[in-house]
Structure formats: structure tokens, C-alpha cells
Chains A and B, each alone.
Chain A
Amino acid sequence: MHELMNTSREALHLLVSLDPALWEIIGVSFRVSLTAILVALPPSLLIALLLARVAFPGRWFAISLVNTFMAVPTVVVGLVLFMLLSRSGPLGELRLLFTQRAMILGQILLAMPVLTAMLHSTLQSIDQRAWETARQLGAGWWQSLWVLIREARFGVIAAVLAAFGRIIAEVGSAVMIGGNIEHFTRTITTAIALETLKGEFAQGLALGLVLLLLALVLNVLLGVMRGRGHQTVSV
């Protein structure tokens, strides 16, 4: 108990004293995850729109597939990408393995199913009259699409927050294709795993506190967005 108290005090000190090594790791995590979300959002939005608004054969199978991918373990994504990106793999010439780009790629693959499934559900709940009204009043196709997204904005933000929460907290793919290289691909989760193995609990705990704080902020924001979203949908 005494040791836990000491470690906690040390962890708080690291956070408050803006320890450069600690904040560098936090910076890498945020940079990788935010980039992944920004890249994953447009295609996810288009796929979700297609699934929500266009009737085509196999649509329900496609929706089931997206929902299934939501449950794919992060280590499986890491494994597949490792095989693809390793020097003997089909994409080995790109020399992406153990880089931040590879980590971003992995997080895009993890974020897209979450984004697509949640955006699909949001867009599906938007009243059909929104599209008809916009088109009737002279909006072009893209303008009508923008109206739909704007009407669903709280759901879109909720989807982004949920996906961001998933990828910033994942460790499987980050450690397998990032390699946990100091000053380069070391993220919050991979650092926690490493520091724990080394017996250096203070930094691990400090990073864990950052993740916990982030989870709290994301959940509060998600709650607010869901509340606003429901207000918006019930016309």
C-alpha cells in the first residue's frame, strides 16, 4: 500500500512537472490517433451514407460485415498488417513497418468499422424528408449531403469520439507494427506495457491516469452529444 502511494505521488509529479519524456509519448499518441481519425472519417462517412440511403443487393450482409469488423481484436489487425508490411510481405517495399505511418494505418483499420457503424445508424435515423426538402428547395446533390451531415452533426461527433477512444487506447496493433521505439513510435499504451515489465510503475501509472482522464472526458462529451442528438432527431 505504501509503495502504491509513493508510486502514485511520483506519477502525479511526472504529470504536473511536465516531464518531457512523458509528454513526448502523449504527443505521439495524440498525433497518430488524430491523424488516423481524420483520414478514416471521409471514407467511413461515404460508406455509411451508401449503407443508410442506397438500396442494393447484399446491403444487409455489408452492414453485418461492418458490425463484425467492430469486434476484430487489435492484435489481429496488427498481425495482418505486420505480414503485409514486413520486408518479405507484399507491401514490404514501402518500408512502413515500425513507423508512425504504419501505426496510423492500423488505427485507420480499427477506427473505420466503429465510425461506419455509428455513422450508418445516425444517418439512417435522419428523417427522409430532410433530403427531399433540400432537393425540392434547390440544393444540389452535394449540398443536400452536407445538409444531412449537418442535421446529424451530434451523431457524427459522437462517432468520432467513440472511434478516437477505441484507437488511442489500443495496444495490440501499435506494439506489433509500431515496435515501441523510443522518441518515435512509443505511445501511451505501449509505454505502459514496457514500463510495467521494467518495474517502473510511476511513468506507467502517470500515462494510465492520462488515459483514464481522456476516457472520462470522451464519455462526458459522448453523453452530451447523445443527448443533443436525441433532441435533434425527435422533430
Chain B
Amino acid sequence: MLEVSQLAHGFDRQPALWEISHLQWQGRSLVHLRGDNGSGKTTLLRLLAGLEAPRQGSIRWTLTGAMPAASPPCPGRVLYLHQQPYLFDTSVAGNLRYVARWHGWRGNMARDRVAAMLERCGLAAHATQRARSLSGGERMRLALARAWLLSPRVLLLDEPTASLDRQAIADVSTLISSLHETGCAIVLSAHQPSVLTERCDEYWCLEQRCLKVSAFKQAVAV
């Protein structure tokens, strides 16, 4: 469960982007975080992932205990994906092998898991291709595959379908839905509705410098 209290954040000496007095989230749903450009969606996701320290207030994931500031506290548990995911300068399979190696998987186990994940994400045919030569949609699918290998509890996705064509949005949306069905809670930011945001069952809206949470699109101020 996520518990946020008295959270405020801004850059340098500028006024806070927003203030969130209290937020409690069970960490099971598929959440659409919406807000205009510059409303602080990325900042909020990065704070929740522990990649930045808040100016004030606290963020507490009870699935991991207290979250130390500005460091990823629980690799594989709460993962943040950049809007344009960073792919390591190696092959598609090589990107997954990195993760396997970091988690001590060796030999057949690593090979099987990597192969299965490539298959699941529709990237098996690209296994030996250079990761950075993939299209936008394939890049996002590879980033999701890399995250999925770790069976994350929570995935924070920053505009995962921005600048993708219709087919790529459909492919990425299907993958995100499948990931959610495995029990991974997801918060995804998007400032435009899409086929993916239609599948969400909870809505967070950054508006007028505060976060409004609603189920079934009914706004409730927090």
C-alpha cells in the first residue's frame, strides 16, 4: 500500500508544483494519472519511485517499508519507466540478459526466462537486433519486457503511449493490461485519453496544484 502525506515538491525556489495532503492507495488498480503539460506528472511518478527526494512530506510504501530519499529502494518492486525508455547499447536479448545477470540468474534458467519474455512481448524475432534500432513501440515493449522479468509489484509509467502510432499504442496497451492481470499495480500518466486510459479503473488528476482521486471518473479532492 502507498501512503503519501503532506507532500509538496517544486524546483529551486519556485513555488510548489502541487501539494498533496493525504493519499492512500491499495496498490492493486490500474491508475490513470492525468494533468496538463507541466502539471508535474513526471515529477510525482519520480518521487513515488524514489528517484527524487520530496521538498517536504513523506511517501511510504508498506510493501517495502520506509522509502529512503532519492534512491530506488526496492529494485524490481516499484519500477519507474521513462517516457522514452533508456535501452542499453546492446542487442534486444542483451538488454534482458543484463537484468538476468544482476539478479543472479545463470545458464539455462536465464536463457529460458529471457526467451520466454521476448516471446511474450512479441520481440522474439528481434532478439539479436540492436535495441536502439527498434521502432518507438518496440522500444517501449522491450522496456516493459525488461521490467516484467522482475515481476514488479508496482509499475510507474510515464506517458507510455506518447508519440506512438495507433498500432503501437494497441500493442503496448495490450502488454500493459496483461502485466496488470498478473497482479502488478500500474500508475500511468497521460494527458490525452486513449484506448489504454479507457481500461483504467482509477483516476488521479493533477489540477489546480492538488491531486484529485476518483473511481469511475468522479472527482474527489484529496
Contacts and interface: CB of A to CB of B under 8 A. Distances in A.
B98 A235 contact: no
A143 interface: yes
A151 B75 contact: no
Interface string A157-180: 000000000000000000000000
A194 to B, nearest CB: 47
Interface in A125-156: 127, 129-130, 132-140, 143, 147, 150-151
Interface residues of B, number: 23
A137 B146 CA distance: 8
Contacts of A134: 98, 102
A75 B102 CA distance: 48
Nearest to B85: A133
Interface stretch (B26-34, B76-84, B121-129): B76-84
Nearest to A137: B99
B22 interface: no
A1 B99 CA distance: 66
A225 B219 CA distance: 55
A132 to B, nearest CB: 6
A35 interface: no
Interface of A: 127, 129-130, 132-140, 143, 147, 150-151, 232, 235
6 contacts: A135-B71, A137-B150, A138-B150, A151-B88, A235-B86, A235-B87
Interface string B60-102: 0000000000011001100110101111110000000011001
Given A138-B75, A151-B89, A232-B89, A133 B102 contact: no
A151 B103 CA distance: 20
Given A135-B72, A137-B147, A137-B150, A129 B86 contact: yes
Contacts, number: 57
Task: Identify the 5 closest CB pairs spanning chains A and B, nearest first.
Answer: A138-B75, A129-B86, A133-B86, A138-B102, A139-B102
A180 B98 CA distance: 50
Interface of B: 49, 51, 71-72, 75-76, 79-80, 82, 84-89, 98-99, 102-103, 132, 146-147, 150
Interface SS of B by simple majority: loop
A127 B75 contact: no
Contacts of A143: 102
Nearest to B82: A129
Nearest to A129: B86
Contact of A137 (B71, B82, B102): B102
A232 B87 CA distance: 11
A140 B132 contact: no
A137 B89 contact: no
B103 A138 contact: yes
B85 A136 contact: no
A132 B146 CA distance: 14
A127 B86 contact: yes
Contacts of A147: 88, 98
Contacts of A127: 86
A188 B10 CA distance: 60
B127 to A, nearest CB: 18
Contacts of B71: 135
Contacts of B102: 134, 137-140, 143
A143 B75 CA distance: 13
A147 B102 CA distance: 11
